[in-house]
């Protein structure tokens, strides 16, 4: 099966459980199981290639210019983690079907689970670090939904927020590290990066990249000092906890350290940071786990400890350490998932996870007792179970590792961590299942149906089989370990076996088990000492830090963002001017290479008019109508400037835009006072004037510099001129740029234009549904108005010229690919014709003859443009790639057919719909027809100033 399909299946399948929710629990679970099973079988179809040492790849160029490609890679390491994710995922789905109650929304749960599963599979199969980062963040988001699935629990919501905050922070840091790594290697493809070990480690940016990437790994895998978030995620349903701890989420950081091992390991920085963090996490997690009374909390801190163990093994930088880490990842996934599901069974049946309220369950729940005991003994490192084998390998590696020059430090801490690990395992077994049967259980417990105990039983079978016959997985572990180390060194051929002789690791293991039993013998006094001892609480520290950051952010935000647009504009303008000035004085400006063009009388006259209109705006801006007239003059002179510089397309666009915007602004001014009140002090106006003068001088200097000097590089216009016809099939370069070379920009712009029109419509709907409507209906104009609202001459004239304007718009649309014109200009021309109908005949008359809603016209335009772009995919071309050909239909001459015309049609419709919807929205505010003023009575005082707010009565 294609790697693309394996990654896509969980995401596609996530659409189905919600749709099947009404069909019942069995349908939701069965459908989810089928999706995961299909992906799992698809993964297994690639197993022969992986076992043969091949690397299965799949690639689709996405944005090659940015190095972002959809590339996937399946080697031994990727297969190993994908196998765990999908395989254990199947057991979790089956378990969740029986665990969740009838009140739980199964469709929602399995949707989140499949999204999470897909994100994890995407991480382990990605061959592009940018793509990996996308999936990395998806795991944070989907795990947030899973952890907070029980929304009615405050601790669930808090745990979800904490997990998202910590892992999200690490994810942001890792983005920086990955970008640095890609820049060093010259590629963002992992397969390329992994071949550049010497280049990366010799670069001065290696250490910053290493620190940022490890920060992302440590936060995701709950390594010290970020270990505190994981236990608080235990408020999630037990199936989530089991999946999170065994095969997903927290293993993502471990996976990335293993994936980047060939290029990041082997340096003193890697060894000290990773080994130290792993050792501390292993020890602290084990100690805290021993004194936890909640079964899931105990298991959560045990996960933290074992993740530290794996991290420490990867940190040693040896090939044997890497192999031991791989083996323990496998073993930990089996016994930890089984333990969490067993804890869920106890909670489900006894209605409590508090160890102090349990005991004697071996008599009442014999099947659960056997499953949990075998899994816990494996975690404790008891022989003939798989946990013992990888723990022995860890202790063996520890005896050959010196940290900070001390050969005893790593073995001592590893032994102590193993000792506490054995102790909390013995406590889990003894205090939960051993002892006499109690009579004060919240509910009389018993073994559940096979739907709940069979999934952990399958995992425990693997625990026993691997522990007794490790040779069955030996070759596979070697294969995965070779993928981890890449070409760095050779893997030592040390067979995985139960007996290695009387080696130091054996005595360390015996000491850990015996020490664990001794701790259990004195557990009661130890617990009193633990409860009485002062110690920092990670949750309290985290919440204090978050509160301090929020308080600081509020001071900064309220200090800068006080709602004054003048302040925002001043800050932005000063920043831009300052940065530009710094660039100017520190740069090199060569001598001029062009002569000044002669100033013609027409150019001088146009310049004087433009300056006069601009200065008039400065001094007369309080008169809104005069300001609008002066803006129109400035726009007209800009259009003349475009004509002067031989840019007819821009001139036509500018003129039509001016006409449409002036009309819309006139409608808007109809609801505003004619004069703007004075709101700023003389000092503020002086400040703004100084900033404006500085900005104007800066813009003038920049224009002077560029207009009198030749371009340093070849201008992009030469490419467009050379390729406009042969690449886009049009001689009008401007139009070809809009619909072909930069079609994606245009597509985004018409979407934004449509959104803006819809927002205007939404705002007017809000105004018309509240008390503001009453004022609008009863307002009195501040100036006398003509009695004839619709002059006959204007009505007749607009109706006569309507078909003529439509024909002109159609003509401009058709000629746009080769002559000045196009869909945007044609849309504005047609909009002007329709606007004139509203102006001449009124809103009621025009809207009564409207056949198609303007919302639909906008949607049709965006849809046509999008479908035109998608059509290029069917010929294996990038989105919005256009094509053209010439056809001859007798008796007509040969003419051109271009797909860009369809895209331009979408632009045309979007422009017409957006302009007309905006106009309709403003017109509806002014409309009085079919509305009785008495429906919204107001207190109208003839002597009051109509510019002040009216008093609206609450009722009739």
State pLDDT tens for residues 769-802: 666 666 655 656 555 555 556 778 888 888 888 8
CA dihedral 495, 497, 501, 507 (to 10 degrees): 120
CA 299 from chain centre, in angstroms, equals: 31
* Weakest-pLDDT range from 314-323, 580-589, 855-864: 580-589
Closest CA to 43 of 89, 80, 71: 80
- As a whole number of angstroms, the distance between CA 111 and CA 118 comes to 11
Q: Is the pLDDT of residue 318 over 80?
A: yes
Model pLDDT for residues 522-541, shown as the tens digit of each residue: 988 999 888 888 877 777 88
Model pLDDT for residues 269-314, shown as the tens digit of each residue: 999 999 999 999 999 999 999 999 889 999 999 999 999 999 999 9
Q: For residue 787, what pLDDT is reported?
A: 55
Model pLDDT for residues 747-764, shown as the tens digit of each residue: 888 899 889 888 888 887
What six digits make up the tokens of 515? 């020490």
Band (258; pLDDT cuts 50, 70, 90): very high
Q: For residue 210, what pLDDT is reported?
A: 94
| Partners of 406 in beta bridges | 403
Residue indicated by tokens 């945007």: 824
Q: For residue 927, what pLDDT is reported?
A: 56
Q: For residue 773, what pLDDT is reported?
A: 61
- As a whole number of angstroms, the distance between CA 185 and CA 194 comes to 9
* Radius of gyration (C-alpha) of the chain in whole angstroms: 36
- As a whole number of angstroms, the distance between CA 544 and CA 558 comes to 21
Closest CA to 32 of 20, 46, 47: 20
Q: Which of helix, strand or coil describes residue 785?
A: coil
Q: Is the pLDDT of residue 866 over 80?
A: yes
Q: For residue 786, what pLDDT is reported?
A: 55
What are φ and ψ of residue 286, in 5° steps?
A: -70, -40
Q: Could you tell me if 262 and 194 are in contact, meaning their C-beta atoms sit under 8 angstroms apart?
A: yes
Q: Could you tell me if 330 and 481 are in contact, meaning their C-beta atoms sit under 8 angstroms apart?
A: no
Q: Is the pLDDT of residue 935 over 50?
A: no
- pLDDT (mean) for 100-124: 89
Q: For residue 116, what pLDDT is reported?
A: 92
- If one counts every other C-beta atom within 10 angstroms of the C-beta of residue 34, the result is 13
Q: For residue 558, what pLDDT is reported?
A: 80
736 backbone φψ class: left, alpha, beta (φ>0; ψ -120 to 50): alpha
Pick from 426-430, 727-731, 852-856 the range whose average pLDDT is largest. Answer: 426-430
Band (593; pLDDT cuts 50, 70, 90): confident
Per-residue three-class SS string for 6-34: HHHHHHHHCHHHHHCHHHCHHHHHHHHHH
Q: Which of helix, strand or coil describes residue 781?
A: coil
- As a whole number of angstroms, the distance between CA 326 and CA 314 comes to 9
Q: Which of helix, strand or coil describes residue 143?
A: helix
Q: Within 13 A of 906's CA, how many CA atoms are on the CB side?
A: 27
Q: Which of helix, strand or coil describes residue 900?
A: helix
Q: Which of helix, strand or coil describes residue 826?
A: helix
Q: Is the pLDDT of residue 149 over 90?
A: no
Band (932; pLDDT cuts 50, 70, 90): very low
Beta pairing class for 68-74 and 56-63: antiparallel
Q: For residue 518, what pLDDT is reported?
A: 93
* Weakest-pLDDT range from 79-83, 459-463, 538-542, 619-623: 538-542
Band (468; pLDDT cuts 50, 70, 90): very high
Q: For residue 620, what pLDDT is reported?
A: 86
Q: For residue 456, what pLDDT is reported?
A: 94
Q: For residue 533, what pLDDT is reported?
A: 83
Percent of the chain past pLDDT 70, that is, above it, reads 93
Q: Within 13 A of 123's CA, how many CA atoms are on the CB side?
A: 32
Q: Which residue has the higher pLDDT, 843 or 477?
A: 477
Q: Could you tell me if 142 and 136 are in contact, meaning their C-beta atoms sit under 8 angstroms apart?
A: no
Q: Is the pLDDT of residue 949 over 70?
A: no
- As a whole number of angstroms, the distance between CA 230 and CA 288 comes to 13
Q: For residue 90, what pLDDT is reported?
A: 94
Q: Could you tell me if 286 and 313 are in contact, meaning their C-beta atoms sit under 8 angstroms apart?
A: no
| Partners of 70 in beta bridges | 60
Model pLDDT for residues 192-207, shown as the tens digit of each residue: 898 888 899 999 999 9
> Sign (positive/negative) of CA torsion 122, 124, 130, 135?
positive
Q: For residue 948, what pLDDT is reported?
A: 42
Q: For residue 369, what pLDDT is reported?
A: 94
Q: What is the pTM of this model?
A: 0.72
* Weakest-pLDDT range from 215-219, 313-317, 366-370, 947-951: 947-951
Per-residue three-class SS string for 714-759: CCHHHHHHHHHHHHHCCCCHHHHHHHHHCHHHHHHHHHHHHHHHHH
- pLDDT (mean) for 318-344: 92
Helix locations, 381-534, DSSP H: 386-399, 409-433, 450-468, 471-485, 504-521, 523-532
Model pLDDT for residues 635-649, shown as the tens digit of each residue: 888 888 888 888 888
The angle at the Cα of 428, spanning 423 to 432, to the nearest 5 degrees, equals 145
Q: For residue 45, what pLDDT is reported?
A: 92
- pLDDT (mean) for 679-683: 81
Q: For residue 775, what pLDDT is reported?
A: 62
- As a whole number of angstroms, the distance between CA 670 and CA 786 comes to 15
Q: For residue 623, what pLDDT is reported?
A: 86
**Whole-number mean pLDDT of the chain?**
85
Q: For residue 777, what pLDDT is reported?
A: 59
- As a whole number of angstroms, the distance between CA 202 and CA 204 comes to 7
Percent of the chain past pLDDT 90, that is, above it, reads 30
- If one counts every other C-beta atom within 10 angstroms of the C-beta of residue 558, the result is 10
Q: For residue 88, what pLDDT is reported?
A: 93
Model pLDDT for residues 152-190, shown as the tens digit of each residue: 788 888 888 888 888 889 999 999 999 999 999 888 889
Q: Is the pLDDT of residue 378 over 90?
A: yes
* Weakest-pLDDT range from 616-630, 807-821, 895-909, 918-932: 918-932
- pLDDT (mean) for 335-363: 90
Q: Could you tell me if 234 and 297 are in contact, meaning their C-beta atoms sit under 8 angstroms apart?
A: yes
Q: For residue 789, what pLDDT is reported?
A: 65
Closest CA to 259 of 202, 357, 329: 329
Q: For residue 373, what pLDDT is reported?
A: 94
- If one counts every other C-beta atom within 10 angstroms of the C-beta of residue 780, the result is 8
Q: For residue 499, what pLDDT is reported?
A: 79
- pLDDT (mean) for 841-861: 80
Residue indicated by tokens 């799949």: 58
Closest CA to 241 of 205, 199, 295: 295
What are φ and ψ of residue 68, in 5° steps?
A: -100, 105
DSSP 848-888: HT--S-HHHHHHHHHHHHHHHHHHGGGGT--TT---EEEE-
Closest CA to 880 of 687, 766, 747: 747
Helix locations, 66-153, DSSP H: 76-99, 106-125, 129-147
């Amino acid at each position: 099966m294609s790697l693309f399909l394996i990654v896509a299946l969980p995401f596609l399948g996530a659409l189905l459980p919600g749709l099947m929710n009404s069909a019942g629990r069995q349908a939701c679970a069965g459908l989810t199981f089928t999706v995961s099973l299909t992906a799992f079988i698809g993964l297994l179809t690639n197993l022969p290639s992986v076992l043969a040492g091949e690397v299965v790849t799949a690639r689709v160029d996405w944005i090659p210019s940015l190095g972002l490609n959809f590339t996937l890679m399946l080697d031994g390491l990727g297969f190993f983690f994908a196998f765990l994710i999908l395989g254990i995922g199947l057991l979790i789905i089956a378990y969740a079907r029986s665990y969740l109650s009838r009140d739980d929304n199964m469709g929602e749960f399995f949707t989140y689970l499949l999204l999470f599963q897909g994100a994890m599979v995407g991480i382990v199969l990605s061959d592009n670090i940018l793509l990996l980062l996308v999936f990395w963040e998806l795991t944070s988001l989907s795990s947030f939904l899973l952890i907070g699935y029980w929304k009615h629990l405050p601790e669930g919501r808090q745990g979800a927020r904490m997990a998202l905050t910590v892992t999200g922070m690490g994810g942001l840091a890792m983005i920086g590290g990955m970008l640095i790594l890609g820049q060093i290697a010259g590629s963002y493809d992992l397969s390329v990066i992994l071949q550049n070990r010497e280049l990366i480690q010799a670069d001065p940016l290696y250490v910053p990249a290493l620190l940022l990437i490890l920060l992302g790994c440590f936060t995701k895998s709950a390594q010290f000092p970020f270990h505190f978030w994981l236990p608080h995620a235990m408020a999630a349903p037990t199936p989530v906890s089991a999946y999170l701890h065994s095969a997903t989420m927290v293993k993502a950081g471990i996976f990335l350290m293993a994936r980047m091992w060939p290029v990041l390991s082997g340096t003193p920085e890697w060894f000290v940071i990773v080994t130290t963090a792993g050792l501390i996490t292993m020890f602290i997690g084990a100690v805290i786990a021993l004194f936890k009374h909640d079964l899931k909390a105990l298991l959560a801190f045990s996960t933290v400890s074992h993740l530290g163990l794996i991290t420490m093994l990867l940190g040693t930088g040896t090939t044997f350490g890497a192999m031991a880490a791989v083996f323990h990842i496998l073993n930990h996934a089996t016994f930890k998932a089984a333990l969490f599901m067993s804890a869920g069974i106890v909670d489900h049946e006894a209605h409590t996870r508090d160890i102090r309220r349990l005991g004697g369950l071996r008599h009442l729940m014999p099947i659960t007792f056997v499953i949990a005991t075998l899994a816990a003994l494996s975690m404790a490192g008891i022989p003939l179970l798989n946990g013992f084998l990888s723990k022995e390998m860890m202790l063996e590696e520890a005896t050959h590792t010196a940290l900070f020059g001390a050969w005893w430090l790593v073995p001592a801490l590893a032994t102590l961590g193993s000792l506490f690990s054995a102790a909390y395992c013995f406590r889990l077994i003894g205090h939960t299942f051993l002892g006499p049967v109690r009579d004060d259980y919240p509910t009389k417990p018993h073994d559940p149906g096979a739907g709940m105990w069979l999934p952990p039983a399958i995992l425990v079978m693997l625990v026993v089989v691997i522990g007794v016959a490790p040779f069955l997985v030996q070759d596979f572990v070697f294969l995965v370990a070779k993928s981890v180390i890449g070409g760095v060194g050779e893997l030592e051929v040390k067979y995985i076996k139960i007996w290695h002789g009387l080696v130091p690791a054996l005595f360390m293991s015996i000491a850990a088990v015996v020490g664990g039993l001794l701790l259990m013998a004195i557990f009661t006094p130890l617990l009193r000492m633990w409860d009485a001892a002062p110690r920092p609480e990670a949750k309290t520290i985290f919440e204090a830090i978050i509160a301090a950051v929020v308080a600081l952010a509020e001071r900064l935000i309220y200090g800068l963002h006080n709602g004054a647009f003048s302040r925002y504009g001043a800050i932005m303008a000063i920043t831009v001017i300052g940065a530009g000035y710094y660039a100017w004085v520190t740069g090199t400006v060569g001598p001029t290479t062009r002569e000044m063009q002669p100033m013609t009388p027409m150019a001088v006259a146009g310049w004087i008019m433009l300056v006069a209109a601009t200065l008039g705006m400065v001094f007369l801006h309080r008169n809104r109508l005069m300001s609008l007239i002066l803006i129109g003059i400035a726009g007209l002179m800009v259009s003349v400037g475009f004509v002067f510089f031989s840019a007819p397309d821009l001139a036509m666009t500018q003129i039509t835009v001016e006409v449409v915007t002036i009309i819309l602004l006139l409608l808007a001014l109809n609801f505003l006072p004619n004069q703007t009140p004075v709101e700023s002090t003389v000092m503020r106006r002086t400040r703004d004037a100084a900033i404006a003068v500085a900005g104007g001088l800066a813009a003038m200097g920049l224009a002077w510099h560029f207009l009198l000097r030749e371009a340093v590089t070849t201008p992009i216009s030469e490419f467009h001129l050379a390729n406009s016809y042969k690449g886009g099939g049009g001689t009008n370069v401007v139009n070809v740029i809009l619909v072909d070379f930069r079609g994606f920009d245009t597509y985004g712009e018409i979407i934004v234009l449509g959104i803006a029109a819809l927002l205007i419509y939404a705002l007017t709907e809000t105004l018309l549904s509240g008390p503001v409507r009453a004022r609008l209906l009863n307002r009195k104009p501040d100036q006398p108005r003509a009695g004839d609202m619709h002059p006959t001459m204007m009505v007749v004239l607009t109706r006569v010229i309507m078909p003529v304007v439509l024909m002109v718009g159609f003509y401009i649309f058709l000629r746009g690919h080769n002559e000045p014109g196009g869909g945007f200009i044609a849309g504005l021309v047609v909009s002007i014709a329709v606007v004139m109908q509203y102006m001449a005949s009124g809103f009621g008359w025009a809207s009564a003859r409207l056949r198609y809603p303007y919302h639909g016209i906008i949607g049709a335009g965006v849809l046509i443009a999008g479908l035109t772009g998608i059509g290029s995919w069917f010929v294996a071309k990038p989105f919005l790639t256009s094509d053209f050909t010439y056809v001859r239909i007798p008796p007509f001459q040969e003419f051109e057919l271009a797909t860009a015309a369809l895209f331009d049609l979408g632009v045309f419709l979007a422009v017409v719909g957006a302009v007309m919807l905006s106009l309709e929205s403003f017109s509806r505010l002014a409309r009085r027809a079919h509305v009785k003023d008495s429906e919204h009575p107001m207190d109208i005082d003839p002597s009051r100033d109509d510019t002040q707010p009216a008093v609206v009565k609450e009722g009739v």
